[in-house]
Structure 1
Amino acid sequence: MHIPDGFSQITPYIFADDALAYMDHLVQALDGLELGRTLNDDGKLANGQVRIGSASIMVSEAGQGFPPSSLALYLYVENANTAFEKAITGDMTKIMDVADMPYGDRQGGVKDIAGNIWWISQRLSSAPYY
């Protein structure tokens, strides 16, 4: 089995209204890196890929048969406070302030322009998650 570099066996695939703007949003707000895009004849996004850290996300224009996605994503970062502030500056909406959690993570929550929730988390402990 071949899996492209930067992808895992399970890769989130998000359908969004104005998917091109959504990809730009991920790049700016979460320090994403656009890996590529393919457009339909109408100029809308057929398929795009954004890498955030070591993970990749696929994005496509929502439409008939493929409504906008509603996801919750857990994103590990080096510094939760810094990443959270960048996300807010990048037009994400705060849903929970950054705080230390009892399970060993420091995390805050934001909602992106497509309504998806991102838990921005920094692991504080080397212990197993549970």
Structure 2
Amino acid sequence: MNKIFDTYRPEGFGTVSGYLFVENPNELIDFLKKAFYAEEINRSMNSQNGDIANVILKIGSSCFMISQARGQFLHMRTAFYLYVDDVDEIHKRAAEFGAKVEFEPADMDYQDRQSGIIDPSGNYWWISKRLVAKGYHE
């Protein structure tokens, strides 16, 4: 690994970590807590308008951030690949708590069991379990 990446990172953060700007952060945070067992690590508010300035959430071993979208950050969407042990259970929870189902759980040719959902903020989530104990390029 290049030494430039050999630096302190808070627990749960990788070299690259997601940062979502959404129009209704409380709705998304509530969805992620219910559907994916997200844990809220920290919350800071904008003292001028009371908006969420930054929330750190942790799903499994990964942390990422959410903020209130304004101006040029409105309507940004992203996608996540979420590794879980039980795709069907997490897919069902996501749908129960308001996700739009993109595709139902299925075993894929690339040896993942996977489903796809869209969260209340319009982000795509591929919920996946590796069916073999090897990487994608092995």
TM-score tier, shorter chain, comes to: over 0.9
Question: Matches of 2:90 and 2:105 in 1, distance apart?
Answer: 10
Question: Matches of 1:68 and 1:116 in 2, distance apart?
Answer: 10
- For 2:107, the equivalent position in structure 1 comes to 100
Return the TM-score normalized by structure 1.
0.95
1:20–1:44 contact (8 Å) kept in structure 2: no
Structure with larger Rg: 2
Tell me the number of residue pairs that the alignment of Structure 1 and Structure 2 aligns: 130
**Structure 1 unpaired stretches of 5+:** none
Return the TM-score normalized by structure 2.
0.90
**Structure 2 unpaired stretches of 5+:** 1-6
After superposition, the C-alpha distances for 1:60-96 in whole angstroms (9 at most, x for unaligned) are 0000132232111100001111111111111111000
| Runs of at least 4 residues off by over 4 Å | none
Question: What RMSD over aligned residues (CA atoms) do the two structures have, in Å?
Answer: 1.0
Give identity over the alignment, percent. Answer: 35
Point out the structure with the larger helix share: 2
- For 2:61, the equivalent position in structure 1 comes to 54
Deviates more, 1:53-62 or 1:65-74: 65-74
2:42 to 36, 48, 60: 36
